[in-house]
Structure 1
Amino acid sequence: MDTNSPADASAKLDQLPDAVAAQAFRRLVQHLQHRHDAQNIDLMGLSGFCRNCLADWIMDAGFEGDKSAARELIHGMPMDEWKAAHQTPATDQQIAAMQASVAKNLI
C-alpha cells in the first residue's frame, strides 16, 4: 500500500499546527523579499508559482485588503516600485518555461 500519495501528503500537511505553518510562510516571504534576484518569471518557470501567486493565495485565504495591498505585503513594497527596481524583461525562453510549468499546475 502506497502511504506517500498526494492525498496522504495533503492530510499530513493539514495536521501541521497553524502557528508553525504561519511562521514558515512568513520566512518564505521574507526570503523572497531578500532575494530580489529571483525573478517572478523564473520562479514561475521552475515551480509554477511566484510572489504574485502568494498574494493571490493570501487573498483566497481571507486577506481583507485588495490585490494591490496583498502584493505590497508579499513584495515588501508597492508592486510598481518593486517592478521598477527589480524586474527585468522576460526572455522568450523564460516565457516558454513559465508556460510549460504553469501547464503542470492543472491538477
Structure 2
Amino acid sequence: MQHIDDATRTELEAAAFRRLLKHLDEHKEVQNIDLMNLAGFCRNCFSKWLAAAADERGVELSYDAAREYVYGMPYEEWKVKYQTPASADKLEALAARHSHGEEKSS
C-alpha cells in the first residue's frame, strides 16, 4: 500500500474497520471471550481504541459512546440480548493466556 496516498489509505482503513464491525455484528454468537482467547482483543478493545484515537485528536468521544458505536446499541442492552455465560474452559483459557505474560490488547 506504499503507492497509495495517505487520504486514500485512511479511507480504505476506515472502510475495512466498518466492515469488520459489520462482520462482528452479523456474528453475535462470537463472544468477546472467544475473541480474547483467539486473538487477544474483543469488541471492548475496539471501543477503547476508538475512544483513545478520538482523545489523541482532541475529539470528544466517551468510552460508552464508542462502545455503543462498536456494539450497534448500548452495551448493557447487547449483554442482555447476546452475551452468554462463559464456560469454565473459556475462563481457564483466558486466565492461562494472561498468566503466560501476554498483555491484554486494550
Using structure 1 for the length normalisation, give the TM-score.
Answer: 0.77
The gaps in structure 2 that reach 5 residues or longer are: none
CA-based RMSD of the aligned residues comes to: 2.3
Matching residue of 2:74:
78
Matching residue of 1:48:
40
> 1:21: Cα distance to partner?
0.6
State the distance in 2 between where 1:75 and 1:101 align.
25
- Percent identical among aligned pairs is 43
Q: Which of 86, 89, 106 pairs up with 1:90?
A: 86
What SS is found at the alignment partner of 1:17? helix
- 1:7-53 CA-partner distances (Å, limit 9, x unpaired): xxxx9xxx781111110000001111111000011111111100000
The gaps in structure 1 that reach 5 residues or longer are: 1-10
Are residues 41 and 61 of structure 1, via their aligned partners in 2, closer, same or farther at CA, if it must alter by over 3 Å? Answer: same
What SS is found at the alignment partner of 2:36? helix
Using structure 2 for the length normalisation, give the TM-score.
Answer: 0.78
Are residues 33 and 106 of structure 1, via their aligned partners in 2, closer, same or farther at CA, if it must alter by over 3 Å? Answer: closer
Question: Post-superposition, which runs of at least 4 consecutive aligned residues in structure 1 deviate over 6 A?
Answer: none
> 1:100: Cα distance to partner?
3.4
State the distance in 1 between where 2:9 and 2:27 align.
27
Residue 89 of structure 2 is aligned to residue 99 of structure 1: no
User: Could you tell me whether the CA contact under 8 Å between 1:45 and 1:99 is conserved in 2?
Assistant: no
Across the two proteins, how many residue pairs are aligned to each other?
94
